[in-house]
């Protein structure tokens, strides 16, 4: 019996012809599983490895190298909130903004709120320097974040 749903398996298989080798599909496969489950379980690693003709350790090595993916003991919340700490954001108050989010959410970077709604993290750059300080909410940039805008975001994300 397969741990991965048929839908996930088909999404992964659809990538195989797009790359020069099956191994190159490792990262997209991990993203597919992570986006769906909010973590990558051991069983998924084993199935991805089987699908891509790899050893499970090769898939796990890829997963842990990027530090983007979560494991079962530490899943993502419903929303992933990244605070950018690039030079541009730093100069415009990103450290204080991160502290503000920590205080308001009562968590530290890398943690998830008790209700499972928000995982707070920092990123070295999210590619939106023109709007410093900025955050990334899942895949959506929000620019020029003041403490007031941060409070509005928290209200929006905790509804």
pLDDT on residue 37? 92
pLDDT on residue 33? 96
Structure tokens at 149: 């805008």
pLDDT on residue 137? 95
67-87: pLDDT as tens digits = 789 888 888 999 999 999 999
Q: Give Cα 57 to chain centroid, integer Å.
A: 21
CATH C-level class of 6-66: mainly alpha
Per-residue confidence band for 107, with pLDDT thresholds at 50, 70 and 90: very high
Structure tokens at 123: 């990123």
Reply yes or no on whether the pLDDT at 1 is more than 90: no
pLDDT on residue 145? 97
DSSP code of 119? E
pLDDT on residue 68? 82
Q: Does domain 79-158 bear CATH number 3.40.30.10?
A: yes
DSSP code of 24? G
Distances (CA, A) of 153 to 25, 51, 101: 35, 40, 10
- CATH 3.40.30.10 residue spans of the chain: 79-158
Residue 127 three-state SS: coil
Calpha distance 72→61 (Å, rounded): 16
């Amino acid at each position: 019996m397969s741990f991965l749903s048929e839908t996930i398996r088909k999404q992964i298989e659809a990538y195989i012809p797009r790359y020069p080798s099956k191994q190159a599909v490792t990262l997209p496969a991990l993203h597919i599983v992570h986006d769906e489950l909010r973590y990558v379980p051991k069983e998924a690693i084993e199935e991805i490895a089987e699908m891509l003709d790899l050893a499970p350790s090769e898939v796990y090595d890829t997963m842990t190298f990027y530090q983007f993916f979560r494991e079962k003991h530490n899943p993502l919340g419903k929303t992933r909130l990244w605070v950018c700490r690039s030079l541009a954001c730093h100069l415009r108050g990103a450290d204080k903004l991160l502290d503000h989010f920590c205080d308001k959410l009562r968590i530290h970077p890398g943690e998830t709120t008790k209700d499972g709604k928000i995982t707070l993290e920092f990123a070295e750059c999210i590619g939106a320097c023109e709007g410093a300080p900025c955050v990334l909410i899942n895949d959506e940039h929000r620019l020029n974040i003041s403490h007031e805008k941060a409070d509005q975001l928290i209200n929006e994300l905790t509804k």
